[in-house]
Structure 1
Amino acid sequence: LPSLTPTGRSRQTHDSPELRIVLIGGRELTGEPSNKSLSGNIILGQNVFDTSRRTAQSVAGQQEVHGRRVTVVDTPGWWWHYPLENTPKLDQIEIQNSVHLVSMCAPGPHVFLLVVPISKAFTEEDHKALVELLMPFGERVWRHCIVLFTWGDWLNDRLIEEHIAGEGKSLQWLVEKCGYRYHVLNCHGLGYHFPVKLLFQKIIDLITRNKEQCPQWFEIILRPNVLSNKPVLKV
């Protein structure tokens, strides 16, 4: 792991041309394209992730985008509008295997993008599932989260703020929990560069505001495994 000295953290956080992103979200039972995988492809500017089938296990993709080395980890999703317990057990284990997940973008992600399609309601069940999925990372993880609204064209002439206000308490809770950090992405395919540039700037602003490098809480994740003498994945 990189040095965790304050000087080292500051240098890596603010000057590094690298961005490490983890996508978290739900999936459909109907076989619709994965919002997470499609978002990952748009962010990377390449068809890296397979959108035609569900993401069965976490997979990482990496590209040079706007002068930065960008790593995106696509994770399995819970079933939209269902309790997490209804999601296949193997998917639950894969998402919550935080050591494995973080190791795919070592020394740890800069940001968790919580992918929420504008075309669907974010329900109380989704709220509960998301809280449970992020629980292994601890309460601190919310400081590193941005809500990524997909299918922005569904807004038509409405502002995203109007959508949030009209969607009910669960979505409002999520936006508030993420410090009112959110971004809207259209899913028309590759080549829409400006929204991705703006997203990168929001991520950089988040890193700067946190003033801490992700390995700090990466080690917090590892520590309980060490104390309990459980094997951990070396990175």
Structure 2
Amino acid sequence: MSSRESRVSRENTDDELRIVLLGKTGVGKSATGNTILGRDAFKAEVSFESVTKESQRESCEISGRRVTVIDNPGLFDTELSNKEIQREIRHCISMILPGPHVFLLLIPLGRFTKHEEASVEIIQETFGEKSLMYTMVLFTRGDDLKNRTIEQCLEKPGSPLMKLIEACGNKFHVFNNNQTEDRTQVTDLLQKIDNMLKTNGGSFYSCKMFREMEREKQEQQIKIIMDRLREREELINKHEEEKERMKMMMEEERQNQDKERKRREEELKREIREQEKHLREIRDEMRQERE
């Protein structure tokens, strides 16, 4: 047992460390799980087609400490529907009760895509904002570093990659899954996780947090539905009001037309009476002349 392994063991005597691997198919999740456990527990991905179809749990002892790793299917992949993803995430959380200490977000060195850029948003939507307190970026393909350090390979401040790391509390580590015999990278990872646990007051991402997040999402969905119903009701009311207004306008127009028609009828009658009077006057004059 190395001095580093002994230190990690002393600080966490009899504690179980619970780890959930997150990432897209092809980033080396299964290989990373095998490196942590020190054995071929997970079937490693040999292509970009997902090997893991459902969450898998494996455990081992590292320096007298129980470490449990969950490898889950495509939370970041597109072949699963939202309903299937939510069902699998609930299953994943239930497999690692009372809850994971850390989410390891796996990103291959040199392959930071738009999808990886959206990782934080995906994690927040799936586990809630608090989950970022328990999230660490784990770069795979550490052999690509050659003789450089990870700090030398990171992008400039303000870049999408650095924003992702900052969102995760500047917590990151590097793995070379081609050197599984190098246990230093594992004990270094465990030490960083322990430092994160101290920062978080020894807490973990609990099922209660997940249930609260789900309840908030349900309440938000209900609010969206209620807002849509209210908007629809307002639209219907507005339409009814418009119909009533048009009806009143048509009624007013009809009344005005009736008034105009009556006015013209009265005017015509008056003209007729005047004409009849004038005609009588002419007849009277003619009769007087004859007499």
Q: Compute the TM-score of the two structures, normalised by the length of structure 1.
A: 0.76
| Equivalent position of 1:157 in the other structure | 147
Question: 2:285 aligns to what?
Answer: none
User: Which structure is higher in strand share?
Assistant: 1
* 1:189–1:158 Cα change, 3 Å: closer
**C-alpha RMSD of matched pairs (Å):** 2.7
Indicate which of 69, 72, 81 corresponds to 1:72.
Answer: 69
Q: What CA deviation, in whole Å up to 9, does each residue of 1:184-209 have, x standing for no partner?
A: 11111432111101111111111111
For 2:41, the equivalent position in structure 1 comes to: 48
The 1:135/1:76 distance shift into structure 2, 3 A limit, reads same
Unpaired segments of 5 or more residues in structure 2?
1-10, 219-291
**Where does residue 197 of structure 1 map in the other structure?**
187
Find the partner of 1:177 among 151, 164, 167.
Answer: 167
2:132 — aligned with what?
A: 142
Deviation of 1:129 after TM superposition, in Å, equals: 4.5
- Among all aligned residue pairs of Structure 1 and Structure 2, give the percentage whose two residues are the same amino acid: 34
The aligned residue for residue 128 of structure 1 is 118
Q: Report 1 or 2 for greater relative contact order, CA contacts < 8 Å, sequence distance ≥ 6.
A: 1
Shift of 1:61: 0.6
Which of the two has higher C-alpha Rg? 2
Shift of 1:16: 4.5
Select 2:21's aligned residue among 12, 20, 23: 23
Q: Distance in 2 between matches of 1:42 and 1:156?
A: 19
The CA deviation string for residues 79-99 of structure 1, in whole angstroms up to 9 with x for no partner, is: 7xxxx6xx1025883367433
Q: How does 1:216-235 map to 2 (within 5 A)?
A: 217-223=206-212
TM-score, normalised by the number of residues in structure 2:
0.62
**Alpha-carbon distance in structure 1 between the residues aligned to 2:157 and 2:24:** 17
SS at match of 2:21: strand
- Deviation digits for residues 88-124 of structure 1 (CA, Å, limit 9, x no counterpart): 0258833674332211111000000011111x42122
